[in-house]
């Protein structure tokens, strides 16, 4: 679907500042739609031919819609838009005329000109028309609430025609603004409440104010209610600013453990300040959840920190034991366990410092890689290089993947570039090897390359060495000892990915992994 901007740029001669104003209208007009119990359509005159194009639409949340179909993108000319034409040309709100029928829905049409004030505050010209169309099929005798809503709606409609609604935005307002249905209070020019909707009344009750709001001085009430005097003064000043015709930022009031979000809007049809509209929403639960989340985050970080400490203790114990055993094989096995445990600790260390359950993985890979080179059995040093980036990985992927990479890197260093003694025994065992060791062909620098890139929600990783390659009789699907068993179990289990081990294109060995990153299930496990 085309956006408001696309449509306006394609079909009209509106300037960027005009289009920005239309965006502001569409950002704030749910309020008018709800108060009017009516659909609002934003129409712009099409360049040259007297027809109008609908660039935006909003349905009321307080009443049935007059349009079941989407109207955006429609271009209409002739009698159907004659009322828009009057509002546009004469710059006044048009509301005469008989009901019209959409299929079997009777509707009342109104047209509100949209004026953009000039930068020096002059009235400016009409740039568009808001069609206000009410579904009349359910119209009843209006209640107190409906009468108050409709009066306020008419004030706001006039302010659109004057160019004083919507008010300027305040940057950084993240919580969505309170809506009409959340609670609405109307004030007269002196700041006294003339109407409070039942939901507004309930919101104030939660703050500890049980009497009727009508007749109250709302600014004074806010000052009295707020537990924090500074917050109370601030909230009162917001109301006073709106009464002066300014648009203050949204404010929160805390009292008696409850929190209320308020938005005060000036009412000044035809430029005369006649009072203010205050929308209120009880956000106690939202704030409680925010606070709970913050403590939960801190707790999770602390747990990762302790897991890391415990793993380091385990590693230290194993290292101690490795020093004591005399059998070389047992010592090697224990030392390997030390490295395995240490690599997991690394992930938890990173998690304990991050604010969410995700880690920047490149740093971890680099540390595991440099630890692997230290165990190289050869006198010649093995170079380690990372190409591309792993990016940020979710915790559960990171813990499994670091173990996999640890095994593959150790294999590359240990078996790709074995010490001379090992080479001798290995060659004695196998008669004429199928592929001559490329390392023997010349002084090629021993190197292991880890490369990573993301493509279509998949992480592609390869660990390549230019060593002596897999043994000739090696079964790439099933062969191997504990190391490759761990790798396959993690890849096909936790990570739900695939792994291939093969001879490298230029000798050596290449392991390639593909791991899906899209986790659809909210509990963090992949679906499926």
Ligand X SMILES: Nc1ncnc2c1ncn2[C@@H]1O[C@H](COP(=O)(O)OP(=O)(O)OP(=O)(O)O)[C@@H](O)[C@H]1O
Per CB under 5 A, does 343 bind Mg ion?
Answer: no
Q: Which of residues 428-457 bind ligand X (CB under 6 A)?
A: none
Contact residue for Mg ion among 33, 259, 411, 462 (CB under 5 A):
411
Specify the stretch interacting with ligand X by CB under 6 A; choose among 47-55, 248-256, 351-359, 468-476.
468-476
Find out whether 206 and 306 touch, Cβ atoms under 8 Å: no
User: Which ranges of 395-469 would DSSP assign to H, the alpha helix?
Assistant: 395-411, 420-429
Query: CA-CA distances (angstroms) from residue 364 to 86, 163, 391, 393?
Result: 68, 56, 11, 11
Q: How far apart are CA 279 and CA 450, in angstroms?
A: 57
Max CA pair span of the chain: 103
Sole window of 200-208, 252-260, 392-400, 408-416 interacting with Mg ion (rule: CB under 5 A) = 408-416
Which of 415, 446, 491, 497: binder of ligand X (CB under 6 A)?
Answer: 415
Nearer to Mg ion, 36 or 462 (CB): 462
For residues 343 and 308, is the Cβ–Cβ distance under 8 A? no
Cβ proximity to ligand X, 31 vs 448, nearer residue: 448
268-277: burial string, b at 16+ Cβ within 10 Å, e else: bbeeeeebbb
In whole angstroms, what is the distance from residue 52 CA to residue 517 CA? 47
CA distances from 169 to 57, 116, 120, 371 (A): 21, 15, 18, 53
Using the rule CB under 5 A, give the single segment among 116-124, 217-225, 300-308, 406-414 that binds Mg ion: 406-414
Number of Cβ within 10 Å of residue 135's Cβ equals 21
Our finding on whether 411 is near ligand X (CB under 6 A) is yes
Candidates 136-144, 266-274, 294-302, 482-490: pick the segment binding ligand X (CB under 6 A). 482-490
The pattern of x and - marking residues 332 through 371 that bind ligand X according to CB under 6 A reads ----x-----------------------------------
- 159 C-beta neighbours (distance < 10 Å), count: 23
- Please say which residue, 60 or 418, places its beta carbon nearer to ligand X: 418
What mask, x for binding Mg ion by CB under 5 A, covers residues 481 to 520? --x-------------------------------------
Segment interacting with Mg ion, rule: CB under 5 A, options 215-223, 297-305, 376-384, 479-487: 479-487
In three-state secondary structure terms, 260 is strand
- How many Cα atoms sit within 13 Å of 305 on the Cβ side? 10
Residues numbered 189-208 forming contacts with ligand X, rule: CB under 6 A: none
**Interface with ligand X by CB under 6 A: which residues?**
336, 407, 411-412, 414-416, 465, 467, 469-471, 474, 480-484, 509
Residues within the interface to Mg ion (CB under 5 A): 411, 483
């Amino acid at each position: 679907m085309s956006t408001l901007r696309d449509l306006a740029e394609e079909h009209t001669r509106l300037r960027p500042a005009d289009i920005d104003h239309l965006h502001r209208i569409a950002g704030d007009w749910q309020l008018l739609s709800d108060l009017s119990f009516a659909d609002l359509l934003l129409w712009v005159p099409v360049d040259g031919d007297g027809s109008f194009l609908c660039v935006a639409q909003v349905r009321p949340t307080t009443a049935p819609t007059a349009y079941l179909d989407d109207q955006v993108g429609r271009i209409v000319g002739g009698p159907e838009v004659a009322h828009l034409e009057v509002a546009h040309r004469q710059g006044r709100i048009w509301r005469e005329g008989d009901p019209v029928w959409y299929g079997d829905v009777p509707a009342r049409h109104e047209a509100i000109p949209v004026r953009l004030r000039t930068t020096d505050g002059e009235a400016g010209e009409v740039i568009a028309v808001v069609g206000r169309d009410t579904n009349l099929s359910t119209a009843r005798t209006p209640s107190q609430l409906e009468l108050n809503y409709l009066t306020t709606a008419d004030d706001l409609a006039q302010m659109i025609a004057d160019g004083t609604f919507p008010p300027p935005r305040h940057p950084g307002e993240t919580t969505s603004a309170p809506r009409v249905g959340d609670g609405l209070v109307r004030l007269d020019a002196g700041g006294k409440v003339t109407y409070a909707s039942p939901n507004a009344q309930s919101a104030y009750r939660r703050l500890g104010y049980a009497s009727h709001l009508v007749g109250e001085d709302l600014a004074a009430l806010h000052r009295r209610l707020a537990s924090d005097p500074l917050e109370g003064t601030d909230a009162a000043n917001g109301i006073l600013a709106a009464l002066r015709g300014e648009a203050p930022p949204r404010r929160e009031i805390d009292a008696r453990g409850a929190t209320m979000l308020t938005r005060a809007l000036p009412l000044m049809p035809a430029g005369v300040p006649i009072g203010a509209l205050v929308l209120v929403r009880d956000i106690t639960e939202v704030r409680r959840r925010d606070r709970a989340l913050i403590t939960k985050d801190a707790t999770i970080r602390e747990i990762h920190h302790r897991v890391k400490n415990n793993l380091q203790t385990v590693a230290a114990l194993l290292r101690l034991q490795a020093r004591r055993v005399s059998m070389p094989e047992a010592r090697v096995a224990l030392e390997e366990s030390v490295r395995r445990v240490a690599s997991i600790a690394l992930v938890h260390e990173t998690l304990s410092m991050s604010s969410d359950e995700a880690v920047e993985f490149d740093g971890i890979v680099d540390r595991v890689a440099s630890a692997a080179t230290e165990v190289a059995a050869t006198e010649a040093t093995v170079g380690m290089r990372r190409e591309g980036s792993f990016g940020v990985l979710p915790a559960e992927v990171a813990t499994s993947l670091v173990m996999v990479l640890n095994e593959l890197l150790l294999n590359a260093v240990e078996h790709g570039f074995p010490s001379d003694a090992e080479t001798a025994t290995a060659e004695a065992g196998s008669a004429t090897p199928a592929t001559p060791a490329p390392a023997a062909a010349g002084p090629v620098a021993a190197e292991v390359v880890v490369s990573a890139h993301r493509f279509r929600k998949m992480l592609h990783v390869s660990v390549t060495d230019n060593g002596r390659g897999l043994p000739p009789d090696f079964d790439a699907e099933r062969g191997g000892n504990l190391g490759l068993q761990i790798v396959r179990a993690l890849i096909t289990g936790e990570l739900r990915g695939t792994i291939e081990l093969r001879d490298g294109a230029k000798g050596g060995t290449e392991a390639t992994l593909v791991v899906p990153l899209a986790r659809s299930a909210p509990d963090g496990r992949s679906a499926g």
